[in-house]
């Protein structure tokens, strides 16, 4: 399957109707594992080349947002897809429950502090989108934010989505490429992965008892994520809903999408001219004169 058609298949069209249950988490796009892993290796290599140009050019920043239900494979996807990246040009932030300091600020504050600088790729493992899904499902989380009563009316969630849209539009207008990925795992596969974490001692640390409680609210999460994704997928900050039951396929789609996004930027190494070029010539003369 061609790269373009593969990505188009999983990119959410904001003008259309969208529901998570219409995306098959087991989908592999007609690909076989061996062929997909070869494509992934090529994509990882290409991503490394593009990241080097991104860093050298120092004009664009890249923000990759990963969301998904527990055990959807966010950590593993980041690890594999970005394995060819120079660590100095990449930064990862995993957003967990907000600290006391973060609760004393607006809900976008901690994300704004973590934005990548020009020339770098920033990864958000979970993000401000939790504020319109998880916080909506858990009113007690909203209470901890101590907002004035006039700021917590019935339009709160729509207003937050408007703020997020404005924030991402602002980023795009200031040279930040934004790509968002929802790793769509099935309920059955999540259960299998949870049991694996319980059965294998080296994976016990990954399990949290609260994960089972959240699993009981599966349908609520699916409903709210469906709404949020379609309302916040835009041309400048699109969502890709990626089938996540087969990790090898998830990683391939993410890699293809990131490479395609970077290729849109027409990245290249800076061409030195004038005084800077003369400086290099003098350095060459000095080195060669050492004889």
For the segment 245-274, the average pLDDT, to the nearest whole number, is: 93
- The mean pLDDT of 225-247, rounded to a whole number, is 97
Give the per-residue pLDDT at 14: 85
Query: How much is the pLDDT for 277?
Result: 79
What topology does CATH give the domain 3-289? Rossmann fold (3.40.50)
The pLDDT score that the predictor gives to residue 4 is 52
d(CA 70, CA 139): 20
Nearest Cα neighbor of 151 from 110, 113, 107, 112 is: 107
Residue-averaged pLDDT of the chain: 93
Q: At 123, is the secondary structure helix, strand, or coil?
A: strand
Confidence of residue 204 (pLDDT cuts 50, 70, 90): confident
Q: Is residue 168 pLDDT above 80, yes or no?
A: yes
pLDDT for 3: 52
Give residue-wise pLDDT tens across range 23-71: 999 999 999 999 999 999 999 999 999 999 999 999 999 999 999 999 9
Please give the pLDDT value at position 1. 46
Strand 61-68, strand 176-184: pairing: parallel
pTM: 0.92
Mean pLDDT across 161-188? 98
Average pLDDT over residues 204-222: 89
Residue 206 has pLDDT above 90, yes or no: no
DSSP string over 180-225 = EEEEE--HHHHHHHHHHHHHSGGGGGG--HHHHHHHTTHHHHHHHH
Give the residue with greater pLDDT, 227 vs 202: 227
Which residue reads 């609210």 in tokens? 217
The confidence band for 16, taking pLDDT boundaries of 50, 70 and 90, is confident
pLDDT of residue 2: 46
User: Domain ranges in the chain?
Assistant: 3-289
Say what percent of the chain tops pLDDT 70: 98
pLDDT in tens, 111-139: 999 999 999 999 999 999 999 999 999 99
Q: Assess whether pLDDT exceeds 70 at residue 291.
A: no
pLDDT at 68: 98
């Amino acid at each position: 399957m061609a790269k373009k058609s593969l990505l188009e298949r999983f990119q959410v069209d904001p003008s259309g109707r969208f529901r998570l249950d219409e995306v098959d988490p087991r989908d592999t796009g007609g690909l076989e594992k061996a062929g997909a892993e070869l494509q992934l290796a090529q994509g990882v290599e290409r991503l490394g080349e593009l990241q080097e140009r991104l860093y050298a050019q120092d004009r664009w920043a890249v923000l990759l947002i990963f969301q998904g239900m527990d055990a959807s494979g966010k950590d593993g996807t980041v690890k594999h897809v970005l394995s060819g990246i120079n660590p100095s040009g990449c930064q990862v932030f995993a957003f967990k429950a907000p600290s006391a300091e973060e609760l004393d600020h607006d809900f976008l504050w901690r994300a704004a502090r973590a934005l990548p600088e020009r020339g770098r790729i920033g990864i958000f493992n979970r993000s401000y989108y939790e504020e319109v899904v998880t916080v909506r499902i858990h009113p007690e989380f909203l209470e901890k934010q101590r907002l004035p009563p006039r700021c917590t009316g019935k339009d709160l969630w729509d207003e937050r989505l408007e703020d997020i849209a404005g924030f991402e539009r602002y980023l795009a207008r200031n040279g930040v490429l934004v790509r968002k990925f929802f790793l769509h795992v099935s309920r059955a596969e999540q259960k299998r992965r949870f049991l694996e974490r319980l059965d294998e001692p080296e994976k016990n640390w990954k399990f949290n008892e609260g994960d089972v409680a959240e699993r009981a609210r599966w349908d609520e999460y699916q409903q709210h994520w469906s709404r949020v994704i379609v309302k916040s997928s835009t041309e400048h900050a699109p969502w890709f809903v990626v089938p996540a039951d087969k990790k090898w396929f998830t990683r391939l789609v993410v890699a293809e999408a990131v490479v395609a996004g970077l290729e849109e930027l027409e990245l290249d190494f800076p061409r030195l001219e004038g005084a800077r070029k003369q400086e290099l010539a003098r350095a060459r003369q000095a080195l060669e004169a050492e004889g």
